[in-house]
Copies of this chain bind each other. A is one copy, B any other.
Amino acid sequence: MSKNLKVFAPATVANVACGFDVLGFALHSPGDELHITFNDSGTLVLHNETPYELPLSPEKNVTAVALQAMLDALQSRQGFTVTFLSKIMPGSGVGSSAASAAAGVFGANELLGRPFTRRQLVAFAMQGERAASGSAHADNVAPALMGGFTLIRSYTPLDVVPIPSPPVFATVVHPQIEVRTSDSRKILRQEVPIKKAVEQWGNVAGLVAGLFTNDYDLISRSLHDVIVEPVRALLIPEFYVIKQAAIDAGALGCSISGSGPSIFALSSDEATAHKVAQAMRRGFDHVGIENHTFVSPVNKEGVRIKG
Contacts and interface: CB of A to CB of B under 8 A. Distances in A.
Contacts of A163: 205, 209
A201 B19 contact: yes
Interface stretch (A75-83, A100-108, A187-195, A269-277): A187-195
A154 B190 CA distance: 24
Contacts of A197: 192, 197, 200-201, 227
Contact of A151 (B23, B191, B205, B227): B205
A203 interface: yes
Given A204-B204, A205-B208, A209-B161, A189 B194 contact: yes
A143 to B, nearest CB: 14
A212 interface: yes
Interface residues of A, number: 39
Contacts of A209: 151, 153, 161, 163, 208, 212
A218 interface: yes
A197 to B, nearest CB: 4
**Which of A19, A199, A206 is packed against the most chain B CB atoms within 10 Å?**
A206
A159 B205 CA distance: 12
Given A151-B202, A159-B206, A205-B22, A190 B193 contact: yes
A140 interface: no
Nearest to A194: B192
A168 interface: no
Q: Which 5 A-B pairs have the closest CB atoms?
A: A153-B206, A201-B201, A197-B197, A191-B191, A22-B202
